[in-house]
Amino acid sequence: MPPRRRHAILNGSDNMDFEEFEQLVLRVLFETEVPVTAAHTAYLARVSVRGAERHLARMVEQGTLFVRTAASDGVVEYYYPGRKPLVAAAGGIGVGPPSIMIGDPLLVSLRPRPNPMTSVLLSMLIPGAGHIYSGRASSGVAWMATTLMGYACCFLPGLFLHGLCLVSAARSTRA
């Protein structure tokens, strides 16, 4: 996913790039046996159900997907007409791409991006906490130790190091 935007959930926005959403839907279609519904894709894309419905409706308008309603429970499913089921070969070994499972890189890439402001605020309270929040625990511990040593030596070196820690925490969420 482009670094400019993995998900905007933290910022309160519900928009996901259409191309990213389309790739997610196609991956679900061709790598799993899971039926594609608005709720399922909303969960995977971390957008609202309404946002998923808008993107799915656009895919229907473009002719990429078709719509059907399950007779038993009335759930709207989206399907691709040329989709072939993933069949198991003799011996139980599946033919075709593997299913999406917990820990799959697709799901890992959907993790929301750390917010730079939250990172700075955490580092303001505890030096290095913003780095830990951003997933850089070793940097966070190093900043914590050096800033506390700076404060132990004298107030000004500690204050200077604390400022550098804040700048580094804000930049660590963009990298």
> Pairing relation of β-strands 66-69 and 76-79?
antiparallel
Do 90 and 122 fall within a single domain? no
Q: What is the pLDDT of residue 6?
A: 43
Do 52 and 131 fall within a single domain? no
Do 125 and 93 fall within a single domain? no
Do 24 and 78 fall within a single domain? yes
- Domain final residue, candidates 109, 126, 160: 109
**What's the predicted TM-score (pTM) here?**
0.44
Q: What is the pLDDT of residue 147?
A: 93
Do 61 and 28 fall within a single domain? yes
Q: What is the pLDDT of residue 134?
A: 86
8 located within any domain: no
Separation of alpha carbons 24 and 32, rounded Å: 12
Domain that holds residue 41: 18-109
Do 134 and 82 fall within a single domain? no
Q: What is the pLDDT of residue 105?
A: 57
Angle at 86 between CA 22 and CA 56, to 5 degrees: 20
Task: Tally the domains of the chain.
Answer: 2
4 located within any domain: no
Do 22 and 93 fall within a single domain? yes
- Domain final residue, candidates 56, 91, 109: 109
Question: pLDDT tens string for the chain (175 positions)?
Answer: 444 444 443 333 456 788 888 888 888 887 877 778 888 888 888 888 898 888 888 888 988 888 888 777 778 888 887 776 665 544 555 444 555 555 555 555 555 778 889 999 999 999 999 998 888 889 999 999 999 999 998 888 899 999 999 999 888 765 5
Q: What is the pLDDT of residue 154?
A: 86
Q: What is the pLDDT of residue 64?
A: 83
Q: What is the pLDDT of residue 107?
A: 54
5: number of Cβ within 10 Å: 14
7 located within any domain: no
Which candidate, 77, 67, 64, places its Cα nearest to that of 18? 64
- Rounded to a whole number of angstroms, the CA Rg of the chain reads 23
- Domain final residue, candidates 94, 109, 124: 109
